[in-house]
Amino acid sequence: MAHNTSLGQAAGISEEQVLAIGTDDYMESALLNAREKAAVLWAEHVTKNTARSRDDVFEIVRKEFTEAEIIDLTLVCCYFNMFNRITDSLKMPIEIQSEVDKIKTSVRLDPAKVKSYLTTVVEKWPASFPAPNPD
């Protein structure tokens, strides 16, 4: 929550909207438009693993999003379900707020920087890879 609230603020999500998203009656909120409500609805049901049995939820989502958008939305929800488990299970310490807030500069990702990352990885590709540790 700490990092995503910070990044969310930088992306233009108000504190009131963050609070509305956290409630159970966000579908009635005047602070979220139809597309935003559908995104939050999908996130809730993907996270609770109820999306698979709720065709009514998928209908709402399908009205607001293209197929490509549904994939991107589902991927980001699932990635954060995994990441939440990682940070909780490994008891990841939250940085001080000023450090957390550095995330605010990265709302928009420069594709050249992704290329630079991948180029660094490829250029420094290990000459050999370790064998797995014995069982």
Please report whether residue 76 would count as binding another protein according to CB under 8 A: yes
Taking the complex as a whole, how short is the minimal distance between the CB of residue 35 and another protein, in angstroms?
Answer: 7
Of residues 112, 128, 54, 71, the one with CA closest to residue 41:
54
Please report whether residue 108 would count as binding another protein according to CB under 8 A: yes
Please report whether residue 57 would count as binding another protein according to CB under 8 A: no
User: What is the torsion angle, in degrees rounded to the nearest 10, for the CA atoms of residue 99, residue 104, residue 106 and residue 107?
Assistant: 150
Please report whether residue 14 would count as binding another protein according to CB under 8 A: no
d(CA 70, CA 1): 22
Please report whether residue 103 would count as binding another protein according to CB under 8 A: yes
Please report whether residue 3 would count as binding another protein according to CB under 8 A: yes
Beta-strand (E) ranges in 6-81? none
Q: Identity (one letter) of the amino acid at 72?
A: D
Burial class (CB in 10 A: 0-12, 13-18, 19+), 44: middle
Q: CB count, 10 Å around CB of 20?
A: 20
Taking the complex as a whole, how short is the minimal distance between the CB of residue 55 and another protein, in angstroms?
Answer: 20
Given a contact cutoff of 8 angstroms between Cβ atoms, the answer to whether 35 and 43 are in contact is no
Please report whether residue 96 would count as binding another protein according to CB under 8 A: no
List the one residue from 27, 29, 36, 62 that touches another protein (CB under 8 A): 36
Q: Which residues bind another protein (CB under 8 A)?
A: 1-5, 7-8, 11-13, 17-18, 21-22, 26, 32, 35-36, 39-40, 42-44, 46-48, 66, 68-69, 72-73, 75-77, 79-81, 83-88, 90, 92-95, 99, 102-103, 105-111, 113-114, 116-118, 120-121, 124, 126, 129-130
